[in-house]
Amino acid sequence: IYGSASDASKEVAGEVADLIRKRNKSGKKTVLGLATGSTPTQVYGELIRLHNEEGLSFENVITFNLDEYYPMEPHSLQSYVRFMNEHLFDHIDIPEEQVHIPDGTLEEENINDYCREYEEKIRAAGGLDIQLLGIGRTGHIGFNEPGSRPDSRTRLITLDRITRKDAASDFFGEENVPRRAITMGVGTILDADRVILMAWGEGKAPIIREAVEGNIREQVPATYLQEHDNAEVILDDAAAEKLT
Ligand code: F6R
């Protein structure tokens, strides 16, 4: 628990940077699982600073994003491709072919095969070293909404009403928010060597209490992280205020 989201974000970015530097020294790749949304933006800001001011190189980093709305064009205002380019990739030296974000432009009949290939690419890269997560008010991680199974894999999912409400302002109205998304599964996330879930602000306090102290159950998918042996929850004071 940190006094501010900015201090907490620096800490998380520092941990990611340490792993990248260690791997770079031994000529190995680092595989990162990345999230979008408001929560990780300061982590990405700090990683960009470390790249610019301290020579942190992302040439050996491979990334897999958690999710993308479906359908979604990469150049749309709300696309996670655009988000990641603006908040991170346009500002660092990561080779384009090492970046993976679920494709929101697929024909529906090709999605299952695409999702299987996404999983295969993560495995072929050696698995996720660190997965960064935010949490939705429904308790979703990625877009694994209530009802998601612990062994779920990358797939097309229907978004919860609350999630669509929370995204309404980004889309200028709830009716414009896509009803579905492609997301890594809970099982995909749990396979990561290390998981860091972040949450800031009082709006997240009730769901953080459920996620951290509640029973493990499919109604709150973030509770599955309680069974991961290297998962950490990083909060600011406000998001932690309902913990007992
Ligand atoms: C985003 C994602 C979501 C968000 C969550 C919190 O890639 O997978 O689970 O992390 O909805 O969103 P923010 O950070 O905007 O509160």
Rounded mean pLDDT, 123-141: 98
Atom of ligand 1 nearest to the CA of 142: 8
What CATH number has the domain bearing residue 53? 3.40.50.1360
The rounded distance, in Å, linking the Cα atoms of 11 and 5 is 10
CA of 25 to the centre of ligand 1 (A): 32
pLDDT at res. 94 = 98
Q: What is the mean pLDDT of the chain?
A: 98
Q: Residue 241 domain-assigned?
A: no
pLDDT level of residue 29 (50, 70, 90 thresholds):
very high
The rounded distance, in Å, linking the Cα atoms of 182 and 223 is 21
CA torsion angle for 141, 144, 145, 148 (degrees, to 10)?
Answer: -120
Q: Quote the domain boundaries for residue 203.
A: 5-235
The rounded distance, in Å, linking the Cα atoms of 187 and 117 is 15
3-state secondary structure of 196: strand
pLDDT at res. 107 = 98
pLDDT at res. 152 = 98
Q: Residue 242 domain-assigned?
A: no
ipTM of the complex: 0.99
What secondary structure letter does DSSP report for 141?
Answer: B
Nearest residue by C-alpha to atom 2 in ligand 1: 142
Q: How many domains does the chain have?
A: 1
Q: CB neighbours of 215 closer than 8 A, spacing ≥ 6?
A: 223
| CB under 8 A, 24+ apart: contacts of 44-51 | 44/13, 44/87, 44/88, 45/9, 45/87, 46/9, 46/10, 46/13, 46/14, 47/13, 47/16, 47/17, 47/88, 47/92, 48/88, 48/91, 48/92, 50/13, 50/17, 51/91, 51/92, 51/93
CA of 35 to the centre of ligand 1 (A): 7
Q: Residue 38 domain-assigned?
A: yes
Q: Residue 243 domain-assigned?
A: no
Rounded mean pLDDT, 123-136: 98
The rounded distance, in Å, linking the Cα atoms of 5 and 12 is 10
Atom of ligand 1 nearest to the CA of 65: 7
pLDDT at res. 170 = 98
Pocket residue to mutate for ligand 1, from 32, 39, 159, most atoms within 8 A of Cβ: 39
pLDDT at res. 30 = 99
Q: Residue 240 domain-assigned?
A: no
* Cβ of residue 66 lying under 6 Å from some atom of ligand 1: yes
3-state secondary structure of 69: strand
CA of 59 to the centre of ligand 1 (A): 26
pTM equals 0.98
Q: What is the pLDDT of residues 58-116, one digit of tens each?
A: 999 999 999 999 999 999 999 999 999 999 999 999 999 999 999 999 999 999 999 99
Q: What is the pLDDT of residues 133-187, one digit of tens each?
A: 999 999 999 999 999 999 999 999 999 999 999 999 999 999 999 999 999 999 9
pLDDT at res. 73 = 98
67 sits in which H/E element: strand 67-70
* Cβ of residue 42 lying under 6 Å from some atom of ligand 1: no
Atom of ligand 1 nearest to the CA of 67: 7
The rounded distance, in Å, linking the Cα atoms of 50 and 212 is 31
145 is catalytic: yes
Q: Residue 27 domain-assigned?
A: yes
Pocket residue to mutate for ligand 1, from 69, 138, 143, most atoms within 8 A of Cβ: 143
Q: Residue 108 domain-assigned?
A: yes
Q: Residue 244 domain-assigned?
A: no
Nearest residue by C-alpha to atom 4 in ligand 1: 134
